[in-house]
């Protein structure tokens, strides 16, 4: 059986970290955005395409993280702080 290794892209990692309510994950997202800048528009598009598990708590955390992640991206675009 041929199972190619799939390497997660920066955006995949960010979306995964958004499903947890953790300040360390938010700091990680800031670091990831510093390494591979993504615009707020790119992030918004990814939010709408993301397949979030059908678990109310996870969906709520993912939704609550969106404005925080967008703020990090916008700060990055303005040359501001990289983490929350």
Tell me if 62 sits within 8 A of 18, measured CB to CB.
yes
Task: Inform me whether the pLDDT recorded for 83 exceeds 90.
Answer: no
Instruction: Using pLDDT thresholds of 50, 70 and 90, give the confidence band for residue 84.
Output: very low
Residue 38 in tokens: 């993504």
The residue among 6 and 28 whose pLDDT is bigger is 28
Query: Is 64 strand, coil or helix?
Result: helix
Tell me if 32 sits within 8 A of 8, measured CB to CB.
no
Neighbours of 58 (CB within 10 A): 14
Residue percentage of the chain with pLDDT more than 70: 85
Of 5-9, 16-20, 79-83, give the lowest mean pLDDT range.
Answer: 79-83
Instruction: Using pLDDT thresholds of 50, 70 and 90, give the confidence band for residue 79.
Output: confident
Return the DSSP state at 4: P
């Amino acid at each position: 059986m041929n199972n190619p290794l799939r390497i997660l892209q920066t955006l995949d990692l960010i979306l995964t970290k958004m499903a947890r309510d953790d300040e360390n994950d938010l700091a990680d997202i800031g670091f990831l955005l510093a390494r591979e800048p993504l615009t707020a528009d790119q992030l918004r598009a990814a939010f709408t395409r993301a397949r979030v598990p059908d678990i109310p708590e996870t969906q709520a955390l993912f939704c609550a993280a969106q404005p925080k992640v967008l703020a990090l991206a916008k700060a990055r675009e303005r040359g501001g702080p990289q983490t929350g």
